[in-house]
């Protein structure tokens, strides 16, 4: 196991003002991509708005950061960035104003850093509250605490809802596709309203402004994607066959999804629609298939039938130097949450995460080209990247189960309080 004196990422360091000499660098990185994709930004209620304000951004693909840079140009921002984004470039990210975050942790330091960004640096503070790339081009869960955070900061709230980013590079197949980008940049709470509205009212405005469906957007705007491998990798997300209901037996190649159990095939057309090659088409709209899977997992949980167990590889990320392979362990996910345990170099290791500690789960497909999917679980001073060894195409289900267990346990808790 690693040396216990391993230096941890300094989460206490206050966010810096962006160095003046790095601004042109950020623009030079962002603008070739923006021009290539013909970005158009539609600004609503933005006239006269000055720093500081909170900028809440939808999260689709790596190109999001270029879109955000263009949207606030020529203003500077502090960006909340996950710790893996700092690997090998901590100096650069700190000096362009980034704030480090370990995903899905209750981090009071982050609140202080956001306050410093807004009220000391007088910057825009850019936050991606979905905390991961969208899996099928629809809105991920946004924490209920977000409205309270915005209320606490006492500055205007702006939402940047991006379109085309996911279609140009979906998380399950990172090959770039030729898609033009647009973004709606809307001030949803002004300076007077942030003082008078309740946290719940602010949260409702945020959630309404965050609604998006990239496949509906593609169809409505007749965006044809003729990339031949456009369905390759989609079985990572659409892992249940809607015909025979078998899990983890879907495969994909070119523009075809296939169930290896019942052999039914589905074709994805250039407008992102799904059509069975024979027989009925259960779901022509990809997000509908995705929500069918969620409901399947929800029923398993309600019937107390949900259980996952596998041997896993475990990597640690204590700081920005890179990953440390700890070894193999056992991962269990059941009605009581996550249980990770093993023995690394003679030392017993255990990490438990109860359902109410995680409202969602960060997952990755073929992470860093390693050939394995992973989930990550964080404490306040470490992040563990966990790779199932024997069971394949399971991480999407783990993320559904995490969200549905949280909802169920939260409901039970609230009923007990009444």
Query: Taking residues 275-283, what's their average pLDDT?
Result: 97
Query: 75 in a domain, yes or no?
Result: yes
The confidence score (pLDDT) of residue 6 equals: 63
Q: How many domains does the chain have?
A: 3
Task: Identify the domain containing residue 289 by its residue range.
Answer: 234-302
Residue 330 confidence (pLDDT) above 90: yes
- Nearest Cα neighbor of 373 from 350, 343, 396, 349 is 396
d(CA 54, CA 415): 34
Record the tokens describing residue 381, joined without a space: 């001073």
Query: 12 in a domain, yes or no?
Result: no
Q: Are residues 275 and 381 in the same domain?
A: no
Query: 4 in a domain, yes or no?
Result: no
Query: 397 in a domain, yes or no?
Result: yes
CB 320 within 8 A of CB 341: no
Residue 241 confidence (pLDDT) above 70: yes
Chain segment 73-129, per-residue pLDDT in tens: 888 899 999 888 899 888 888 988 899 889 888 778 999 999 999 999 999 999 999
Record the tokens describing residue 333, joined without a space: 């996910």
CATH number of the domain enclosing 60 = 3.40.1130.10
The confidence score (pLDDT) of residue 315 equals: 96
The confidence score (pLDDT) of residue 186 equals: 98
Q: What percentage of the chain's residues is helix, strand, coil (to nearest 5)?
A: 30, 25, 40
Record the tokens describing residue 324, joined without a space: 């440390």
**With 0-12 CB in 10 A as exposed, 13-18 as middle and 19+ as buried, what is 240?**
buried
Query: 272 in a domain, yes or no?
Result: yes
């Amino acid at each position: 196991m690693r040396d216990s004196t391993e230096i941890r990422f300094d989460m206490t360091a206050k966010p810096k003002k962006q160095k003046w000499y790095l601004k042109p660098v950020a623009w030079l990185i962002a603008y070739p991509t923006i021009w290539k994709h013909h970005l158009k930004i539609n600004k609503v209620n933005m006239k006269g708005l000055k720093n500081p304000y909170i900028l809440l951004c939808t999260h689709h693909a790596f190109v999001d950061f270029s879109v955000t840079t263009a949207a606030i140009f020529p203003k500077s921002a502090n960006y909340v960035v996950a710790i893996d984004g700092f690997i090998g470039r901590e100096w650069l990210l700190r000096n362009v104003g980034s704030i480090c975050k370990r995903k899905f942790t209750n981090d009071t330091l982050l609140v202080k850093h956001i306050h410093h960004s807004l009220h000391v640096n007088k910057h825009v503070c850019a936050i991606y509250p979905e905390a991961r790339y969208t899996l099928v081009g629809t809105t991920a869960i946004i924490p209920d605490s977000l409205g309270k955070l915005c209320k606490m900061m006492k500055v205007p709230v702006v939402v940047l809802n991006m379109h085309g980013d996911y279609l140009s590079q979906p998380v399950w197949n990172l090959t770039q596709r030729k898609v033009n980008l647009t973004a709606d940049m809307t001030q949803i709470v002004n300076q007077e309203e942030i003082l008078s509205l309740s946290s719940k009212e602010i949260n409702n405005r945020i959630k309404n402004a965050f609604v998006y469906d990239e496949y509906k957007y593609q169809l409505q705007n007749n965006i044809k994607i003729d990339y031949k491998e456009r369905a390759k990798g989609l079985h990572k997300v659409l892992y249940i066959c809607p015909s025979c209901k078998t899990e983890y037996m879907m495969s994909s190649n070119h523009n075809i999804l296939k169930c290896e159990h019942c052999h039914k095939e589905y074709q994805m057309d250039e407008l992102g629609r799904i059509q069975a090659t024979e027989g009925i088409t259960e779901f022509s709209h990809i997000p509908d298939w995705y929500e069918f899977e969620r409901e399947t997992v929800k029923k398993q949980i309600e019937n107390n039938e949900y259980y996952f167990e596998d041997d896993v590889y475990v990597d640690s990320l204590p700081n920005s130097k890179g990953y440390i392979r700890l070894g193999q362990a056992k991962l269990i996910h059941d009605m009581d949450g996550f249980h990770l345990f093993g023995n690394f170099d003679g030392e017993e290791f255990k990490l438990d995460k109860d359902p109410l500690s995680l409202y969602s789960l960060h997952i990755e497909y073929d992470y860093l080209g390693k050939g394995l999917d992973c989930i990550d679980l964080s404490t306040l001073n470490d992040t563990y990247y966990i790779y199932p060894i024997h069971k394949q195409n399971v991480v999407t289900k783990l993320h559904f189960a995490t969200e549905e267990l949280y909802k169920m346990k939260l409901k039970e808790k609230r009923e007990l309080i009444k």
